[in-house]
Amino acid sequence: MKAILANLCISFFLILSAYPANAFRVDGLKTPQSFIVDPALGNYFISNINGDPVSRDNNGFILKLDASGNSLPFIRGGSPQVTLHAPDGLALKGNNLYVTDIDSLRWFDKNSGKPLGHIDFTGIGAKRLRGVAFDGEGNLYISDVLANAIYKVETGNDHKVSVFSKDNRLGNPSGMVYDSVRQSLIIVTRATGRILAVGMDGKIAPVIQKTFKNLYGVDWDRVGNLLISDSAEGKIYRIKKFSRTEIVRENILTPAGISFDYTRNLILVPSSKGNIAFTIP
């Protein structure tokens, strides 16, 4: 693992100078799924399955990079007191880094990597947890891409878990983001290629009529446009005002859980089968 992290750090610096200001690329990853930034400190986190996405092999890891591109020791499955099989979706709240791991939710201290908690979702029928998103009240929502479900975790109420929505119309929900204006979850789907809004009352409605192939990730840009990744098409799209769609980048090998760095104005893209992560300025 130390060799992997060293290679990642070297790759980061070698390629950094070839990109526009602030943009970068990281090579040598192991099936990266999500790529997020800590807006408070400017650090980056990349989840890596490192093997079969459903195997309980305890060899998944989360790479951490500081704002200057230095690789920092962080979370590795199999380390003392750490269990991490196939880390997927990532989300930050305060000092807590939340990650979905097959049918479990785990959270760690974002600074030290120390494990802080774990919830097993098998009791409510979870199959494959993926996307994560916080609402305006600090509740965490988790998509289950195989069970056609969304779960709610009340992080301020002893992490109480409930089924928020379970409906075949969810079309294998993948990435999610919260829409504070409309007070709903924006969800991209794997099976149907739709973009859906799920209100806090549970009502499901399409955001736009256009359909895509196999959607994975979603986030907002600086001016409120939606950014989505289509892993089958190998494209990143921007949707302006829930109407006009444009291609931001194409010919990407399986773009996965994208997100947006508002400080540096960068789209963060993990390429799952390409085993790289990069940014789009």
Cα–Cα distance between 27 and 278 in angstroms, integer?
A: 9
The answer to whether the CB of 218 falls within 8 A of the CB of 242 is no
pLDDT tens digits, one per residue of 6-45: 444 434 333 333 445 578 999 999 999 999 999 999 999 9
Average pLDDT of every residue of the chain: 92
- Tell me what the mean pLDDT of segment 91-120 comes to: 97
Query: Rounded mean pLDDT of 148-165?
Result: 98
| pLDDT exceeds 50 at position 2 | no
Whether the per-residue pLDDT at 97 is higher than 50: the answer is yes
Kindly state the average pLDDT of the residues 241-247: 95
Domains and CATH numbers, the chain: 2-280 (2.120.10.30)
Q: Which two tokens stand for residue 64?
A: 């951490």
Give residue 68's pLDDT: 75
Q: What pLDDT is stored for residue 10 in this prediction?
A: 35
Q: How does residue 72 score in pLDDT terms, banded at 50, 70 and 90?
A: confident
Q: What is the mean pLDDT of residues 125-134?
A: 98
pLDDT band for position 164 (cuts 50, 70, 90): very high
Share of the chain above pLDDT 90, in %: 89
Residue 249 has pLDDT above 70, yes or no: yes
Strands 184-189 and 71-76 come out as unpaired
